[in-house]
Amino acid sequence: MHFLSDALEKYVTEHTEKEPELLKELDRETNLKVLRPRMLSGHFQGRVLSILSKLTSPKTILEIGTYTGYSAICLAEGLKKDGLLHTIDINEELQDFQKKYFEKSGYSNQIKQYTGDALDIIPILETNFDLVFIDADKPNYSAYFDLIIGKMNSGGLILSDNVLWSGKVVEPLDDKDKNTEALLDYNKKLKEDPRVETVLLPIRDGLTMSRVI
Ligand code: SAH
Ligand code: CA
């Protein structure tokens, strides 16, 4: 969902860092070969993730929801030299695709791929995090937050994607719509939790920044 007019969207993208060639290729191949390519972050949001990661300069990143690896590569751009990005996806069919692009990106020795349910994998990761990107199944956002909050380094950053859910968060709620219901609860929870300082940015489909106090 795009909240800006096409003309403004184009202007914004034209005045943003250009998309690296490898990520253009990853986007093209995702569109050709993978289901639901709209889930990929893409040029503008990818550059947002990259600059936020560079500003944070994280030693350890956790990504929940790798998909074809686009956002992982953007986030890896900001890692400290000896930093590590852990990325989890439940869909094992994506593993080879991700691996191929991580290798081409030059970050493969700094990226650890996990295949499985993030709810099972996060508890076995024996590390703290400086930056977390939550971008998997929406009904579990709140559970992911609960699993990571105790493992965040002070001053760390939690990014949560698609929090405006195509604008459905301000429309009348359909009882069967579990995603919107979950995101409404999640957005409220972030706002109220005293352990984080939260700003919801209306970027693309909504990207929340929560700084851990
Ligand atoms: N971060 C990617 C897009 C992620 S799309 C980008 O910006 O390019 C969401 C992904 O979450 C999908 O690939 C899906 O397989 C994964 N996912 C869904 N439920 C999950 C779960 N319980 N554990 C881990 N990954 C999950
Ligand atoms: Ca997303």
Of ligand 1's listed atoms, the one at least distance from the Cα of 117 is 23
User: 0.85 cut: is pTM over it?
Assistant: yes
Helices (H) and strands (E) in the chain — how many of each?
A: 8, 7
Per-residue pLDDT tens digits for 157-166: 999 999 999 9
Q: Does 98 sit in the ligand 1 pocket, CB within 6 Å?
A: no
- Which among 120, 102, 116 is positioned nearest to 26, based on CA atoms? 102
Per-residue pLDDT tens digits for 43-88: 999 999 999 999 999 999 999 999 999 999 999 999 999 999 999 9
Q: Does 50 sit in the ligand 1 pocket, CB within 6 Å?
A: no
Task: Compute how many other C-beta atoms are within 10 angstroms of the C-beta atom of residue 147.
Answer: 19
Of ligand 1's listed atoms, the one at least distance from the Cα of 94 is 13
Reply yes or no on whether the pLDDT at 1 is more than 70: no
Q: Does 89 sit in the ligand 1 pocket, CB within 6 Å?
A: yes
Ligand 1 centre distance from Cα of residue 1 (Å): 18
Q: Does 39 sit in the ligand 1 pocket, CB within 6 Å?
A: yes
Q: Does 9 sit in the ligand 1 pocket, CB within 6 Å?
A: no
Reply yes or no on whether the pLDDT at 3 is more than 90: no
Q: In degrees to the nearest 10, what's the CA dihedral of 92, 95, 96, 102?
A: 180
In order of start, what are the domains of the chain with their CATH numbers? 6-212 (3.40.50.150)
Ligand 1 centre distance from Cα of residue 172 (Å): 27
- Which among 113, 119, 117 is positioned nearest to 101, based on CA atoms? 113
